[in-house]
């Protein structure tokens, strides 16, 4: 999307926010062409600010996380967030055209973070990555180890081979029911898959509901589908597509940077032909799927060289980056602690911000080693008001739909989401 008058107005408004600044960066490596890469800093300046790298790729930083930065600054944190190249304020070259494909690689994004620290006059920072952002955080540690004071890897990604762990955990919980809280769910999932109701995209939604709202609400959703009631499910599927797949200017812009996800991190992995394969949904979601080429880093080989304090956070119900991946990462990094929040899903900073804030505070207080003792208390931290309101709304809608006579006798209709 080239810069137009409407986008320029939004761009200028965001660029004028307090703390927002641009730094000139090469469009591509070894190129004289440059563009404006934006970042924002909030809170009282400190020696080791908190650099937060969101997930995606596609999540913007400046517009999307304004509330988080305000609350973090109120807690005394010095927060820096970089607008990822190819997204939002950092999307265009000097002529207003989209950055070219060769500008969009993980190594260049990682070096952008270092350039921002240079511009901000920061020697070392606490690097906090969530989801895809954890790969950038770890990559920053590989390329710029002297710039890391400490690190938080929230719902972490380890390698392009993570899809195997995702498949195994999803099938263990939702197909085999090999866990007390999903034992009653699995037979219903198998039945819905057998009846072609849970398509690959719908299965992705089931995985998200399990992590976001827990097994009880997913159980209610499956019961509704088994009796032919699909209004709420279809509505959630539509909302998910609007939020995660469609572009929301300056908030969520995956269209350019999906190249990174598929080419370097294997988001569109080859399906294995078995049920509940997330790779199928990822390939269906991106009609212009770019085939996997190669990862930029071998984090399995590099992480044992990390010498800084590291906190690895995992949600016990996370089926996007499952706990098995987090445990392996914690085993690779010698000076690390693993914090498991048993009832949490994916991306603690987004869904359990209070817990994330306490973990960050422990880094600055020097009490990281005691975090595993506080897992239960951290897990009990409530979700933000917006998240709680959304879950309440889904529960209310499920109750309402369950009272409506089923449109069809049993499971015979395909969920097309």
What pLDDT, on the 0 to 100 scale, is given for residue 189? 94
Whole-Å CA distances, 191 to 51, 194, 236, 307, 364 = 45, 5, 21, 49, 50
SS3 134: helix
For the chain, give every residue range classified as CATH 3.40.50.1820: 5-160+296-383
Q: Are strands 50-53 and 34-42 parallel, antiparallel or unpaired?
A: unpaired
Task: Identify the sign of the CA torsion 99, 127, 354, 75.
Answer: negative
Contact at 8 Å (CB) between 284 and 200?
yes
Q: Are strands 310-315 and 148-154 parallel, antiparallel or unpaired?
A: parallel
Rounded to whole angstroms, how far apart are CA atoms 351 and 194?
32
Q: Which two tokens stand for residue 193?
A: 């898959």
Task: Identify the sign of the CA torsion 121, 253, 395, 221.
Answer: negative
In the predicted structure, residue 245 carries a pLDDT above the cut 80: no
Backbone angles phi, psi at 137, to 5 degrees: -60, -45
Q: In which band, very low, low, confident or very high, does the pLDDT at 391 lie, cut at 50, 70 and 90?
A: confident
- In the chain, the percentage of residues whose pLDDT exceeds 70 is 94
What pLDDT, on the 0 to 100 scale, is given for residue 140? 98
Rounded to whole angstroms, how far apart are CA atoms 399 and 71?
34
Backbone angles phi, psi at 405, to 5 degrees: -55, 140
Contact at 8 Å (CB) between 279 and 121?
no
Q: How many CB atoms lie under 10 A from the CB of residue 295?
A: 17
**Average pLDDT over every residue of 245-255:** 83
Strands (DSSP E) contained in 290-363 are 310-315, 336-341
Whole-Å CA distances, 67 to 33, 105, 353, 380 = 34, 29, 11, 22
Q: Which two tokens stand for residue 194?
A: 């057998």
If phi > 0 it is left, if psi is from -120 to 50 it is alpha, else beta; for residue 177 that is left
What pLDDT, on the 0 to 100 scale, is given for residue 407? 52
DSSP string of 33-53? -EEEEEEEEESS--SS-EEEE
Peptide bond into 319 cis (omega under 30): no
Q: Between 402 and 155, where is the model more confident?
A: 155
pLDDT digits (tens, 9 = 90+) for 122-138: 999 999 999 999 999 99
pLDDT digits (tens, 9 = 90+) for 48-86: 999 999 999 999 999 999 999 999 999 999 999 999 999
Beta bridge partners of 53: 129
Q: Which two tokens stand for residue 249?
A: 């200017």
In the predicted structure, residue 416 carries a pLDDT above the cut 50: no
pLDDT digits (tens, 9 = 90+) for 291-327: 899 999 999 999 999 999 999 999 999 999 999 999 9
In the predicted structure, residue 215 carries a pLDDT above the cut 90: yes
Of 3.40.1800.10, 3.20.20.70, 3.40.50.1820, 3.90.1200.10, which CATH number belongs to 5-160+296-383? 3.40.50.1820
If phi > 0 it is left, if psi is from -120 to 50 it is alpha, else beta; for residue 11 that is alpha
Whole-Å CA distances, 269 to 147, 164, 283, 292, 407 = 33, 10, 8, 7, 37
Q: At what angle do helices 106-120 and 132-143 cross, to 10 degrees?
A: 70
Mean pLDDT of the residues in the chain: 91
Which alpha helices (DSSP H) does 195-286 contain, by range? 200-213, 215-226, 231-240, 254-265, 278-285
Q: Which helix (H) or strand (E) holds 152?
A: strand 148-154
Contact at 8 Å (CB) between 78 and 361?
no
SS3 81: strand
**Average pLDDT over every residue of 182-210:** 89
Q: In which band, very low, low, confident or very high, does the pLDDT at 374 lie, cut at 50, 70 and 90?
A: very high
């Amino acid at each position: 999307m080239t810069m137009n008058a409407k986008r320029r107005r939004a761009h200028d408004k965001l660029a004028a926010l307090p703390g927002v600044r641009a730094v000139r960066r090469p469009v591509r490596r070894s190129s004289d062409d440059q563009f404006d890469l934006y970042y924002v800093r909030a809170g009282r300046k400190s020696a080791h600010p908190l650099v937060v790298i969101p997930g995606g790729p596609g999540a913007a930083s400046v517009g999307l996380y304004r509330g988080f930065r305000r609350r973090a600054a109120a807690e005394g944190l010095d927060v820096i967030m970089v607008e990822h190249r190819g997204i939002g304020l950092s999307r265009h070259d000097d002529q207003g055209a989209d950055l070219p494909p060769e500008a969009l690689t993980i190594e260049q994004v990682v070096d952008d973070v270092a350039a921002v620290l240079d511009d901000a006059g920061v020697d070392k920072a606490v690097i906090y990555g969530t989801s895809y952002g954890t790969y950038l955080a770890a990559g920053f540690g590989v390329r710029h180890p002297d710039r890391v004071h400490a690190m938080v890897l929230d719902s972490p990604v380890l390698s392009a081979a993570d899809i195997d762990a995702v498949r195994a955990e999803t099938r263990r919980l939702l197909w085999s029911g090999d866990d007390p809280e999903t034992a009653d769910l699995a037979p219903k999932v198998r039945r819905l898959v057998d009846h072609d109701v849970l398509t690959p995209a719908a299965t992705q939604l089931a995985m998200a509901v399990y992590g976001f709202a827990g097994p009880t609400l997913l159980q209610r959703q499956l019961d509704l589908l088994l009796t032919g009631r699909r209004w709420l499910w279809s509505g959630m599927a539509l909302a998910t597509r609007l939020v995660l797949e469609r572009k929301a200017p300056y908030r969520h812009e995956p269209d350019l940077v999906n190249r990174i996800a598929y080419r370097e991190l294997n988001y569109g992995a080859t399906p294995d032909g078995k049920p509940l394969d997330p790779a199928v949904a990822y390939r269906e979601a991106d009609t212009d799927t770019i085939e996997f080429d190669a990862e930029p880093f071998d984090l399995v080989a590099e992480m044992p060289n990390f010498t800084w304090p590291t906190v690895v956070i995992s949600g016990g119900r996370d089926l996007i980056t499952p706990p098995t991946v987090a445990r392996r990462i914690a085993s690779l990094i010698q000076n690390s602690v693993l914090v498991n929040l048993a009832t949490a899903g994916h991306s603690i900073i987004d869904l359990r911000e209070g817990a994330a804030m306490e973990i960050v505070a422990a880094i600055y207080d020097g009490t990281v080693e005691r975090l595993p003792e506080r897992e239960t208390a951290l897990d009990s931290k409530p979700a933000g008001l917006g998240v709680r309101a959304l879950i309440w709304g889904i529960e209310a809608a499920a109750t309402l739909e369950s009272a409506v006579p089923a449109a069809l006798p049993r499971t015979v209709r395909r969920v097309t989401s």
